[in-house]
Amino acid sequence: MEILEQRIKKDGRVLGKDVLKVDSFLNHQVDPELMQAMGEEFATIFSDEKIDKIVTIESSGIAPAVFASLALHVPVVFARKNKSLTLPENVWTADVYSFTKQTTNHIMIDHRFLSAAENILIVDDFLANGQAVEGLLKIANDANANVVGVGVVIEKTFQKGRQILDERGVRVESLARIKGFENDEVIFL
């Protein structure tokens, strides 16, 4: 997606060998016009699929996901990170390890908001090692929901997430695909 790649080139900050910070327009400060354009792009890309609901994870997935849900005229559910020691009843759960933060989050979705045979599109801000998407796939599997695909804003193709999802036969569509960084510059695929 051209305007997204341009924005990443202009405002993204490369940290170290494999971290891209996009906190000025995606996951701390948010550009709503860009989110709207991305949501419409996801709707166009997945227009051949029957989609009943979008599923994402708080917090950074919410902004792109709500605009995809608006463009597709379906509700969106965001999996919550559970901070309490006692797990609520009647929730689907998964553990998601964050390589960046080196912590494990317990994510959950209420049974009322994910049902058997629902066709869901997963939307998230980044695809790197694939842990977040794997957690949502586990929840969808437990709920007997049908995952029609995964929409990702920024994919880092040099990390293992894409390979894991390809091997599982999951359709993955990314708005920007980054194959690496050279001299703190982003190299798109």
Of 1-9, 27-35, 40-48, 142-150: span binding a second copy (CB under 8 A):
27-35
Of 40-48, 63-71, 124-132, 147-155: span binding a second copy (CB under 8 A):
63-71
Closest separation in Å from C-beta 28 to a second copy: 6
Q: Which of 1, 3, 14, 36 binds a second copy (CB under 8 A)?
A: 36
- Type of residue found at 92: W
Residue 79 assigned as binding residue: no
Separation CA 183–CA 133 (nearest Å): 30
Separation CA 142–CA 109 (nearest Å): 11
Separation CA 43–CA 62 (nearest Å): 16
End-to-end CA, the chain: 12
Cβ neighbours, 10 Å, residue 32: 10
Q: Which of 82, 97, 113, 177 binds a second copy (CB under 8 A)?
A: 113
Of 40-48, 76-84, 135-143, 164-172: span binding a second copy (CB under 8 A):
76-84
Binding of a second copy by 70 (CB under 8 A):
yes
DSSP 105-167: EEEEEEGGGS-TT-EEEEEEEEESS-HHHHHHHHHHHHTT-EEEEEEEEEEETTSTHHHHHHH
Closest separation in Å from C-beta 89 to a second copy: 14
Q: Taking the C-alpha atoms of 1, 147, 95 and 153 in order, what is their torsion angle to the nearest 10 degrees?
A: 0
Q: Which of 80, 138, 171, 177 binds a second copy (CB under 8 A)?
A: 80
The binding site for a second copy (CB under 8 A) comprises: 23-25, 28-33, 35-36, 58-59, 62-63, 66-67, 69-70, 73, 75-78, 80, 83-84, 101, 103, 109-110, 112-113
